[in-house]
Chain A
């Protein structure tokens, strides 16, 4: 049975900073807390997933251009937003924003990009938990 640590302390600035960094740059929250190997593995995996998704022809969903996909685009956009600055930089730089529906792997690419964001949310929560000492 795994031990569950419950912290009664209010999360301080450290926790929010670690979480924010982990969201903005995948892996950075763990680097900031002196856990470079963990940061490298988490950040590297998220980054790899993002690059593979892009190479497979996937595209990012914006939070504004929802005319074709409808409400689901907001959900997809939220998933994509998880990759932090990568997502924002891609939108600004017009990288992975075009739908390549004629490519057989474009749907896979979309999922890779979304899951990269969702996994980075997990990584962000992990960094936050470490900072507030709920985890080691």
Chain B
């Protein structure tokens, strides 16, 4: 649980900065930041499940 929270926090902070730097209009910033956040968390969770099935 703690690891998931850390990942969400990381994604949120990166998304804020990418949103501000990557777009110029306020609404575009918000949607771009939200997209970055969703991608970070979504891909992170997907990778976690893929790795879960790998025998190590």
Q: Would you call B24 and A45 a contact (CB within 8 A)?
A: no
Evaluate contact between B13 and A45: CB separation under 8 angstroms.
Answer: yes
Interface residues contributed by chain B, number (CB under 8 Å): 12
Classify the secondary structure of B's interface with A: helix
Tell me if A96 is interfacial: C-beta within 8 Å of chain B. no
- Size of chain A's interface in residues, with CB distance under 8 A? 21
Contact with A along B1-15 (1 / 0, CB 8 A): 011001001100110
Q: Quick check: A38 and B20 within 8 Å, CB to CB?
A: yes
Q: What residues of A have a CB within 8 angstroms of the CB of B16 in the complex? A: 41, 45
**Contact of A108 with B6 in the complex, beta carbons under 8 Å:** yes
Closest partner residue, chain B, to A120 (CB atom):
B17
Contact B21 A123 (CB under 8 A): yes
With contact pairs A56-B6, A105-B6, A108-B6 given, residues A49 and B13 touching in the complex (Cβ less than 8 Å): yes
Q: Could you list which residues of chain A lie within 8 angstroms of chain B, going by C-beta atoms?
A: 38, 41-42, 45-46, 48-49, 52, 56, 105, 108, 111-112, 115, 119, 122-123, 125-126, 135-136
Alpha-carbon distance between A115 and B16 when the two chains are bound, in angstroms: 13
> How distant is the Cα of A111 from the Cα of B6 in the complex, in angstroms?
11
Name B residues whose Cβ lies closer than 8 Å to a Cβ of A.
2-3, 6, 9-10, 13-14, 16-17, 20-21, 24
Give chain B residues whose Cβ lies under 8 Å from the Cβ of A136: 24
User: CB distance B9 to A52 under 8 Å?
Assistant: yes
Taking A52-B6, A123-B17 as known contacts, 17 extra A-B pairs with beta carbons closer than 8 A to each other, sorted by chain A number, are: A41-B17, A42-B17, A45-B13, A45-B16, A45-B17, A48-B13, A49-B13, A52-B9, A56-B6, A105-B2, A108-B3, A108-B10, A115-B14, A119-B13, A119-B17, A122-B21, A136-B24
